[in-house]
Amino acid sequence: MSKQKKSMYLNKKRKRIKKGPVILAGLCALLLLVSGVSAWQTWNKGETILPLTSDEEKPQVLDDSDKQKNEVSEYDIDTPASITAIINKQRPFPSDYEPSDLVVPNIAMRDNISGDEQYVRAQAATALEAMTSAAANEGIALLLGSGYRSYALQESLFASYEEISGTEAANQYSARAGQSEHQTGLAVDLVGDDMSCYLEICFEETPTGQWLASHAHEYGFILRFKKGKESITGYQYEPWHFRYVGPELAKAIHEKNVTMEEYFDLVQG
């Protein structure tokens, strides 16, 4: 090869070598730009970018059990004043607890209802009025049979049931003082205006009982003591007893067809 040709060959080779890093840097910049745009679009849609795992290099995905734990953790089930507080035989309320926002809802009530039992907490009262109005539009006339009960009133009621039925039997259909949902001011016993099957299992067969079973959750109420769940709740099936927990939680519990104890993983083995 002549010196001139050799010089030309070396010059071309040097140019190719110089261009190599430039091309590589350009490709890297393009990849970074595309990645950045994709991330910005994801962020702009309100989506969260999860970090990649070091082993699998895959996004973190929450399974159903993790999602359930996150949902459950949003609710306060321990503070008596919380609308999602759980009270039962294992989780009694203090004897001096009384809700600070008790009101008389603007709905019809059964005859001879006691003064205390006319009250419910304000949030539950608003929901109860809305539910009663909706039921009336469908030809269902709801009456409040019982609302709030103080510790002292529940103590008196249980004593009377105990005298009539004996302790063991009374403990299946009535709560001891401090263990009654009525002390929360969020529980209500409901009945139709004809008082048909009030505080009886046959209430489930009445138009009023059937309407409540289908629609109460839409207004934030759940059927608290469900059929077939007696060993979990500690009480007999009560198709007339509804508990206000708020629309979101009521919907979740209704759709899962579970008790509060099951939803919040409080079932004791």
70/92 same-domain check: yes
State how far the Cα of 173 lies from the Cα of 230, in Å rounded to an integer.
10
State how far the Cα of 175 lies from the Cα of 99, in Å rounded to an integer.
18
Q: Give me the domain span that covers residue 105.
A: 64-263
Confidence of residue 39 (pLDDT cuts 50, 70, 90): very low
State how far the Cα of 205 lies from the Cα of 110, in Å rounded to an integer.
20
Rg (CA), the chain: 32
201/225 same-domain check: yes
In a domain, 268, yes or no: no
174/53 same-domain check: no
Tokens representing residue 233 in the block? 């709740």
CA distances from 261 to 122, 232, 249, 264, 265 (A): 25, 7, 13, 5, 6
Q: pLDDT tens across 145-196, in order?
A: 999 999 999 999 999 999 999 999 999 999 999 999 999 999 999 999 999 9
pLDDT recorded at residue 157: 96
Tokens representing residue 144 in the block? 């409040």
200/92 same-domain check: yes
Q: Which of 61, 85, 107 is the last residue of a domain?
A: 61
Number of independent structural domains in the chain: 2
pLDDT recorded at residue 73: 78
84/214 same-domain check: yes
Average pLDDT of the residues in 91-117: 97
In a domain, 95, yes or no: yes
Instruction: Name the β-bridge partners of 192.
Output: 142
User: CATH no. for residue 195?
Assistant: 3.30.1380.10
